[in-house]
Amino acid sequence: MKLNKTSLLALALAASISLAACGTPASEESTDTPAPTATPEASTPEDSSENTGDMGVAEVAEPDSELSALVDSIYEAYPVELMMMQTTAIDLADESWLTYNTGLTAEQAELVDAGVKSESLTGSQAYSLVLLRVKDAADAQTVADAMLENIDPAKWVCVMADQQRVVTFDDKVLFVMASSELTDVNALIDALPEALGIEYTYDKTAEVEAGDAVAPDMDAPVVAG
């Protein structure tokens, strides 16, 4: 799935709404998130004319087809209806965005074959689903524990997830975090084994307190939306 002009414009609008909701001018806000780009998952050079559209913006890589289809199946089993939901590829080679989206380091990413995330394009809804395929199923729990321990439940700055849960099945690691006001993480994950014909090999939940958020790095640039 690629971000077209309409999606980019919608993302820019969502970013403006999100910043306004925080009550902090964009020029004064700072977080520990990666530098803002319209397409954070893009790994192509900015000056590559072969990989940019007529607006000069690098296109986001297509998400892995197996993982993207599995996300669709998850939402068929348990619908999550939030504004501007989109499933996008996770760039395993971009450590800043990799850590922001998955909590993994570059070394831990060596265990992963591919990944996608599903989130609202607005920054005011605390919901994130991350689905990874590991190269060796034996490493799935290692990756799952790292995600649960290191993903920042307040990565959106304005809002925060209060539920986190990670499960593994086959060679997949599924992590979901959300504000309980938006969706029930446990109900979503509990609905999947029967609906998808899978069996969890590892299952761990974390209840999130306000103090669990990662302290912002005041020297870091702002991420849009």
In a domain, 35, yes or no: no
Residue-level pLDDT at 3: 45
Average pLDDT over residues 40-65: 51
In a domain, 5, yes or no: no
* Token pair in block for residue 85: 């939901």
Residue-level pLDDT at 211: 58
In a domain, 219, yes or no: no
Does the structure show a pLDDT above 60 at 173? yes
Residue-level pLDDT at 181: 94
Residue-level pLDDT at 124: 85
What pLDDT band is residue 177 in, cutting at 50, 70 and 90? very high
Q: What is the Cα–Cα distance from 192 to 39, expressed in whole angstroms?
A: 31
C-alpha to C-alpha distances, 207 to 61, 166, 178, 184, 185, nearest whole angstrom: 33, 12, 11, 12, 11
Angle at the Cα of 14 from the Cα atoms of 13 and 18, rounded to 5 degrees:
120
Q: What is the Cα–Cα distance from 210 to 34, expressed in whole angstroms?
A: 22
Angle at the Cα of 146 from the Cα atoms of 128 and 189, rounded to 5 degrees:
45
C-alpha to C-alpha distances, 14 to 97, 190, 225, nearest whole angstrom: 19, 31, 6
State which amino acid sits at residue 91. Answer: D
Residue-level pLDDT at 64: 97
What pLDDT band is residue 210 in, cutting at 50, 70 and 90? low
pLDDT digits 0-9 by tens, 93-130: 999 999 999 999 999 999 999 999 999 988 789 999 99
Which residues on adjacent β-strands are paired with residue 133? Answer: 114, 172
Q: What is the Cα–Cα distance from 215 to 224, expressed in whole angstroms?
A: 18
Residue-level pLDDT at 123: 74
Average pLDDT over residues 65-83: 97
In a domain, 150, yes or no: yes
Print the domain residue range for 136.
Answer: 62-212
In a domain, 55, yes or no: no
In a domain, 74, yes or no: yes
Does the structure show a pLDDT above 70 at 86? yes
pLDDT digits 0-9 by tens, 136-145: 999 999 999 9
Q: Yes or no: say if 117 and 90 are a contact pair by the CB < 8 Å rule.
A: yes
In a domain, 110, yes or no: yes
Does the structure show a pLDDT above 70 at 16? no
What pLDDT band is residue 12 in, cutting at 50, 70 and 90? very low
| Sheet hosting strand 163-169, strand order edge to edge | 85-89, 112-120, 127-134, 172-178, 163-169, 202-207
Task: Give the number of domains in the chain.
Answer: 1
Residue-level pLDDT at 187: 98
Residue-level pLDDT at 54: 45
Residue-level pLDDT at 146: 98
Residue-level pLDDT at 17: 44
Residue-level pLDDT at 55: 44
Q: Yes or no: say if 201 and 140 are a contact pair by the CB < 8 Å rule.
A: yes
What pLDDT band is residue 40 in, cutting at 50, 70 and 90? very low
Residue-level pLDDT at 207: 76
In a domain, 4, yes or no: no
